[in-house]
Amino acid sequence: MRVTTEVLELPFRDPFRIARKLPHHAASTVIATIEDVDEARGIGEGFPDPYYGETPATVAAVVPVLVETLAEMGQAPRDVAGAREWLVAASLAMDERISHNGAAKCAVDIALHDLVGKRLGLALPELLGTPRELPPTDFTIGIDEPEIVAQRAARAAHFPALKIKLGGPADLATLEAVRGVFGGPIRVDANTGWTPEIAEALLPECVRLGVELIEQPFRARRLDQLRWLQERSTLPIVADESAVVEADLEGLVGVVAGVNVKLAKVGGVGPALRMIRRARELGFRIFLGCMEETSLGIAASAAVAGLVDWADLDGCLLLAADPFDGLVLGPDCRWRLPEIPGVGVVRRPA
């Protein structure tokens, strides 16, 4: 197998800011293309987040190392059960070769699923055995002046739920301003930006303003603080930065009500499917999130979205222009999964 990587710099529609980052005007994402000896091809995407120690350069460096470890595996079997086992084995081989680097593994894992799906003539949900009926996606608005956040909320008011980034001095004013223009559920994500004092003050306001859940209020390792807040909160607290891979789930039992699974954290669509199944067994409510991927990464995510309670698959909707074609958002804000073999998206002509 040969692999090439390409870094895409994609401008956002609106500047995007979260509590633990400066405002960003463009997303940097990595597209991997794998070609097998029989010229079968697969494409995948890994969105690196420096918070998890990855950059476009680390992804571009790690992807060829990962593909090299697959050399001894031969081609995937031509039957569905055998192909699924092969994809799991490939993922485990990558984890054994190098730890962490979820975005790099994600790019390879999606590309392998795309390649195998194309070879078997199966679209991704059929390859994985996952439902095509999906919950609607919410729409995310980054931190900005409360009136600007409200303007963006009004523009996105056709979404059934909005995810509002908090973690700054104007959090309450922002929530009030959004509530003034949007009647549906508000999902709050503080991206580790709160202290227990801030959370204690904001919790009753969140309840009053119709917040549906609170994502990652505190620093990733402060499970003690997450547990303290969940014990006081009727709203589900959802771990994101504290819930990177499947192995993190056990430690979150009795700490938070929900976990946020993302392909770019856990290492692709196969690992995400296994993490979702394990989270369900452990009794968590499940949020499926994303970074700011193109519709290639979002289409792969959407293939497991039928198994979760809340979908936040809006990465490509935050981009000024999406370089891929094939994934369609219905008027009900549910992604329509492509019917064609593989992940089902194709590069738009430049």
- Stretch in the footprint of Mg ion (CB under 5 A) among 78-86, 208-216, 276-284, 299-307: 208-216
Measured CA to CA, the distance from residue 166 to residue 193 in angstroms comes to 8
Output 240 or 322, the one with its CB closest to Mg ion. 240
Smallest distance, Mg ion to C-beta of residue 15, A: 18
Q: Write down the number of H helices and E strands in the chain.
A: 11, 15
Smallest gap from residue 77 Cβ to Mg ion (A)? 37
- By rule CB under 5 A, what count of residues binds Mg ion? 3
- Least Cα distance to 267 among 45, 29, 75, 34 occurs for 45
Q: Which is nearer to Mg ion, 49 or 215 (CB)?
A: 215
Query: Which one, 63 or 308, has the nearer CB to Mg ion?
Result: 308
State the residue for tokens 């607290």: 237
State the minimum distance, in angstroms, from the CB of residue 189 to Mg ion.
4
Stretch that binds Mg ion, among 82-90, 184-192, 267-275, 291-299 (CB under 5 A): 184-192
Furthest-apart CA atoms within the chain: distance in Å: 61
Q: Where does the chain show beta strands of DSSP type E?
A: 2-16, 24-35, 41-46, 139-141, 162-165, 186-189, 211-215, 237-239, 258-261, 285-288, 310-311, 324-325, 328-329, 335-336, 346-347
Burial class (CB in 10 A: 0-12, 13-18, 19+), 187: buried
- Comparing CB distances to Mg ion, the nearer of 103 and 123 is 103
| Window of 79-87, 150-158, 181-189, 297-305 that interacts with Mg ion by CB under 5 A | 181-189
- Report CA-CA distances (Å) from 285 to 19, 153, 161, 326: 24, 25, 17, 30
> Which residues between 95 and 114 bind Mg ion (CB under 5 A)?
none
Please state the closest distance from residue 295 (CB atom) to Mg ion, in A. Answer: 20
Stretch that binds Mg ion, among 19-27, 183-191, 296-304, 320-328 (CB under 5 A): 183-191
- Cβ 278 vs Cβ 304: under 8 Å: no
Give dist(CA 48, CA 112) in Å, integer: 19
Member of 212, 240, 292, 293 binding Mg ion (CB under 5 A)? 240
Give the bridge partners for 329, in sequence order: 335
The residue among 114 and 144 lying less far from Mg ion, judged by its C-beta, is 144
CA dist 41 to 1, 110, 112, 119, 232, Å?
9, 12, 9, 9, 51
Q: Stretches 8-16, 187-195, 242-250, 304-312: which one binds Mg ion (CB under 5 A)?
A: 187-195
Show contacts with Mg ion in window 136-155 (CB under 5 A): none
User: What is the smallest separation between the CB atom of 310 and Mg ion, expressed in angstroms?
Assistant: 12
Cα(270)–Cα(76) distance, integer angstroms: 15
CA distance 319 to 206: 29
Give least dist CB 193 to Mg ion, A: 11
Nearer to Mg ion, 32 or 214 (CB): 214
Of 46 and 342, the one with the shorter C-beta distance to Mg ion is: 46
User: At its nearest, how many Å lie between Mg ion and the CB of residue 192?
Assistant: 9
Residue facing Mg ion at closest CB distance: 240
Q: Decide whether 189 or 292 has the Cβ nearer to Mg ion.
A: 189
Which one among 45, 189, 212, 292 touches Mg ion, defined by CB under 5 A? 189
Query: Minimum distance between the CB of residue 218 and Mg ion, rounded to whole angstroms?
Result: 12
Residue 312 falls in which region: left (phi positive, over 0), alpha (psi -120 to 50) or beta:
beta
Min dist. Cβ of residue 321 to Mg ion (A): 24
Query: What are the residues facing 28 on neighbouring strands?
Result: 9
Distance of CA 323 to CAs 26, 51, 242, 349, Å?
Answer: 14, 25, 31, 8
Which residues of the chain form contacts with Mg ion (CB under 5 A)? 189, 215, 240
